[in-house]
A and B are shown apart, each in its own frame.
Chain A
Amino acid sequence: MRNPQLDKNGELQHLLTLDGLPRDILTTILDTASPFTEVAEREVKKLPLLRGKSIFNLFFENSTRTRTTFEIAAKRLSADVVNLNVSTSSTAKGETLLDTVDNLCAMQADMFVVRHAASGAPFLITEHLFANGRNDIHVINAGDGRHAHPTQGLLDMYTIRHFKEDFTRLTVAIIGDVLHSRVARSQISALTTLGVPEVRVIGPKTLLPTDVEKMGVRVFHDMKAGLKDVDVVMMLRLQNERMNGALLPTAQEFYKMWGLTAEKLALAKPDAIVMHPGPMNRGVEIDSAVADGAQAVILPQVTFGIAVRMAVMSMLAS
């Protein structure tokens, strides 16, 4: 089977998922991102790498934060950026996903940044581009259903590397709603590929996917046991609609059992870092004292996110 995100020379053609991506490509992206962090500190925050390129942010699902970081990343590389919130425009008129893509191809797009509520939607787009011989157009998955959010996974790896350096000595815990989380899947793929010896997932059985241990993780239901001696604590967002019903009784009970408090964090290593992909539900999955505390690296994650997205865009376009 053709690998949909690599070209025939094994170079990155699209970024769709971190699952199955070779370790050296992951490392190259992180290495490429490193100098871009300095661009933000300059007087003129721009590089000419994507001058004249048109990047379409194609968002079939609402998002402000992710779209904005992609937009900033593209603009810092001097690209022209067009934002399309398709959830509120064409599809409402009955246009199919691929019709939309064809129209944008006709407008000489160079890159699509795609978010979609259905797992696999960006793969459909790359298959379509391949079938039409449009190998000059690149696709970045900005989150598809429960499947993948590769740039989030990469910025998390960048953050871990920044604070912890060596992946091969770490114990990492991912906590909360893994079942519905594309972020968790991308994190697990990246962590296992980069050689983290122990990746744990912690949550109630209702929020952990079937056979998740086959992705190379250890499953914990007891947060205290799961947090013991970890180096990195990665919290996940709990969507409002999951809080009351058949998955969880209440947000309060979730907080009591799996919310990150200072008391629980004390079980991790003293120098453990705390991460969250945002937006946070304070008092549901994380206590404010921890979110704003000394161990939290949540805001650096956001800053690194721009550099990592610049790295991905520049690598695809080169």
Chain B
Amino acid sequence: MNIRISNGRLIDPANGVDGVQDLFIAAGKVVALGRAPDGFSAERNIDAGGLVVCPGLIDLAARLREPGFEYRATLESEMDAAMAGGVTSLAIPPDTDPALDEPGLVEMLCHRAKKLNRAHVYPVGALTVGLKGERLSEMAELVESGCVAFSQANVPIVDNTVLMRAMQYAATFGFRVWLQPLAPFLSRGGFAHDGEVATRLGLPGIPVAAETVALFTYLQLARMTGSRLHITRLSSAEGLGLIEQAREQGMDVTCDVSINHLHLSDMDIGYFNSNCHLVPPLRSQRDRDALSAGLVEGRINALCSDHTPVDDDGKLAPFSESEPGATGLELLLPLTLKWAYDTGMPLAQALARVTSDAAQIVGITKAGHLAVGARADICVFEPDTYRQVTRQDLRSQGKNSPFLGLELPGVVRYTLVEGKVMYGG
């Protein structure tokens, strides 16, 4: 279908575009900006007056909970959430049950997702079989099946020799390794940032050293093995400092932060709010401010939702016995906007962190931007409308959000995937 999106404020961070222009779509691709190509006749016109038109968002960590955790969420429910959130590409962590360690499993996931015909999925394969940290997974075959990188999700490898071998093997093919910095013994038995709040509430703490010790190990091993390292969901100022040190020494390492760690701190736990039980834990306000500044300056490369739907029973338990994680797909855009408005950074630059910058980390070239020929994955939203986050409005099967009750900016009006309107209108 030929679609014209007219009168919108077109923001394409990758190409430095920010202004009112029309966008023309045909055969699932962007065919022109500004003026219609010769002979183009729109079968549908979307009037985007007063709205922002940008590339569909790319989320670096979205758990869809299939296979294995269908009682928490399904591909259908979470794909709906993605569409309602303007998110058109999802990197899927491997902590499903079974873990994404088998080519057949990954093919099945991709096939199921394709049939649903909504957001594009980019599975991140398990670095080791069953995420157990013992045997390497069939990385080459997993990539053939569709994996874009390898990770351990939130399950750290205990044996550093296995980690080194896994990084070496991945480096053999130039595969990307995404690691969550969490030292296994230093984080064991802890549930909150080891600081004033955990002390007051009597919650066993996880020290910042759990992140920095792991980071130091990962950075050393990446340097030694030459693997392409991406650090996921940074939580501390010290952690960011270590990454910058490594960069100063010439290392090419990227990192991301979640919407939760960008906006919240351990103070938000309040009276044991289990929706603030997250991995890694929410750290101090000082850490949060450092992460925000790092993201503004691009020292942190991308922002992700770390979408983790948990069923109500999993959260209706004492803090330390509750399931960690927060739903986030539908809040990625609003919290990107809130962050932009709070810090005063230009909207285009803020949107880069969830579009073009994220695309680079996944290795997506045909989306995350709006150049002619790009896949027409597009998000059209009202930038200045505020809406309260409520359980009823969340499409995700997980209603577990630390942001419930808050007024957040940004309402998605249309989501297009490969030139088809999949949400709105």
Q: Taking beta carbons and an 8 Å cutoff, which residues of A are in contact with B?
A: 1, 4, 19, 96-98, 116, 118-121, 123-124, 128, 144-148, 182, 185, 209-212, 214-215
Partner of B195, one of A120, A145, A210: A210
Q: B304-321 vs A: 1/0 string, CB under 8 Å?
A: 000000000100111111
Q: B196-237 vs A: 1/0 string, CB under 8 Å?
A: 101111111101000000000000000000000000000000
A181 and B81 CA atoms in complex are apart in Å by 43
Is the Cβ of A210 less than 8 Å from the Cβ of B201? no
Report B-chain residues with C-beta under 8 Å of the C-beta of A211: 195-196, 199
Is the Cβ of A124 less than 8 Å from the Cβ of B199? no
A119-B272, A121-B318 are contacts. A215–B199 as well, Cβ < 8 Å? yes
Is the Cβ of B202 less than 8 Å from the Cβ of A145? yes
A212 and B207 CA atoms in complex are apart in Å by 14
Report A-chain residues with C-beta under 8 Å of the C-beta of B196: 210-211, 214-215
Kindly state whether residue B37 has any CB partner on chain A within 8 Å: no
Is the Cβ of B318 less than 8 Å from the Cβ of A97? yes
A121 and B205 CA atoms in complex are apart in Å by 17
Q: How far is the CB of A199 from chain B (nearest CB, A)?
A: 14
A–B pairs, 18, beta carbons within 8 Å: A4-B271, A96-B316, A97-B318, A116-B318, A118-B321, A120-B271, A120-B272, A123-B271, A123-B272, A124-B316, A124-B318, A128-B316, A146-B202, A146-B204, A209-B198, A210-B195, A211-B196, A212-B199
Report A-chain residues with C-beta under 8 Å of the C-beta of B195: 210-211
Is the Cβ of A1 less than 8 Å from the Cβ of B270? yes
Report B-chain residues with C-beta under 8 Å of the C-beta of A124: 272, 274, 316-318
Is the Cβ of B317 less than 8 Å from the Cβ of A96? yes
Number of residues on chain B facing chain A (CB within 8 A): 23
Is the Cβ of B319 less than 8 Å from the Cβ of A120? yes
Report A-chain residues with C-beta under 8 Å of the C-beta of B202: 119, 144-148, 182, 185
Q: How far is the CB of B24 from chain A (nearest CB, A)?
A: 50
A182 and B320 CA atoms in complex are apart in Å by 16
Q: How far is the CB of B287 from chain A (nearest CB, A)?
A: 14
A185 and B316 CA atoms in complex are apart in Å by 25
List the 4 closest A-B pairs by CB distance, nearest first.
Answer: A147-B202, A120-B272, A146-B202, A118-B318
Q: How far is the CB of A193 from chain B (nearest CB, A)?
A: 14
Q: How far is the CB of A246 from chain B (nearest CB, A)?
A: 10
A148 and B201 CA atoms in complex are apart in Å by 8
Report A-chain residues with C-beta under 8 Å of the C-beta of B22: none
A97 and B313 CA atoms in complex are apart in Å by 11
Report B-chain residues with C-beta under 8 Å of the C-beta of A209: 198-199, 205
Is the Cβ of A119 less than 8 Å from the Cβ of B271? no
Kindly state whether residue B194 has any CB partner on chain A within 8 Å: yes
A119-B272, A123-B271 are contacts. A214–B318 as well, Cβ < 8 Å? no
Q: Taking beta carbons and an 8 Å cutoff, which residues of B are in contact with A?
A: 194-196, 198-205, 207, 270-272, 274, 313, 316-321
A205 and B131 CA atoms in complex are apart in Å by 35
Given contacts A146-B203, A209-B205, 16 further A-B contacts (CB under 8 A): A98-B316, A116-B318, A120-B319, A121-B318, A123-B272, A124-B317, A144-B202, A145-B203, A145-B318, A146-B204, A147-B201, A210-B198, A211-B195, A211-B196, A211-B199, A212-B199
A212 and B201 CA atoms in complex are apart in Å by 11
Inter-chain residue pair count (beta carbon < 8 A): 74
User: Residue of A at shortest CB range from B191?
Assistant: A119
A145 and B200 CA atoms in complex are apart in Å by 12
Report A-chain residues with C-beta under 8 Å of the C-beta of B321: 118
A120 and B270 CA atoms in complex are apart in Å by 11
User: Residue of A at shortest CB range from B320?
Assistant: A118
Q: How far is the CB of A238 from chain B (nearest CB, A)?
A: 17
Report A-chain residues with C-beta under 8 Å of the C-beta of B316: 96, 98, 124, 128
Is the Cβ of A119 less than 8 Å from the Cβ of B203? yes
Q: How far is the CB of B273 from chain A (nearest CB, A)?
A: 9
Q: How far is the CB of A209 from chain B (nearest CB, A)?
A: 4
User: Residue of B at shortest CB range from A182?
Assistant: B202
Report B-chain residues with C-beta under 8 Å of the C-beta of A119: 201-203, 272, 318-320
A116 and B319 CA atoms in complex are apart in Å by 12
Most B CB contacts (10 A, CB to CB) among A1, A124, A148, A214 go to A124
Report B-chain residues with C-beta under 8 Å of the C-beta of A215: 196, 199-200
Report A-chain residues with C-beta under 8 Å of the C-beta of B313: 96
Report B-chain residues with C-beta under 8 Å of the C-beta of A116: 318
Q: How far is the CB of A241 from chain B (nearest CB, A)?
A: 13
User: Residue of B at shortest CB range from A146?
Assistant: B202
Partner of B319, one of A4, A97, A118, A182: A118
User: Residue of A at shortest CB range from B270?
Assistant: A1
Report A-chain residues with C-beta under 8 Å of the C-beta of B194: 210
Report B-chain residues with C-beta under 8 Å of the C-beta of A121: 318
Q: How far is the CB of B52 from chain A (nearest CB, A)?
A: 34
Report B-chain residues with C-beta under 8 Å of the C-beta of A182: 202
Most A CB contacts (10 A, CB to CB) among B195, B274, B317 go to B317
Report A-chain residues with C-beta under 8 Å of the C-beta of B319: 118-120
Report B-chain residues with C-beta under 8 Å of the C-beta of A97: 317-318
User: Residue of B at shortest CB range from A208?
Assistant: B199
Is the Cβ of B199 less than 8 Å from the Cβ of A120? no
User: Residue of A at shortest CB range from B318?
Assistant: A118
A121 and B313 CA atoms in complex are apart in Å by 14
Report B-chain residues with C-beta under 8 Å of the C-beta of A210: 194-196, 198-199, 205, 207
A146 and B270 CA atoms in complex are apart in Å by 16
Most A CB contacts (10 A, CB to CB) among B194, B318, B319 go to B318
A19 and B202 CA atoms in complex are apart in Å by 12
Q: How far is the CB of A1 from chain B (nearest CB, A)?
A: 6
Report B-chain residues with C-beta under 8 Å of the C-beta of A147: 201-203
Most B CB contacts (10 A, CB to CB) among A4, A148, A185, A209 go to A209
User: Residue of B at shortest CB range from A98?
Assistant: B316
Report A-chain residues with C-beta under 8 Å of the C-beta of B271: 1, 4, 120, 123
Most B CB contacts (10 A, CB to CB) among A119, A147, A214 go to A119
Is the Cβ of B200 less than 8 Å from the Cβ of A185? yes
User: Residue of B at shortest CB range from A116?
Assistant: B318
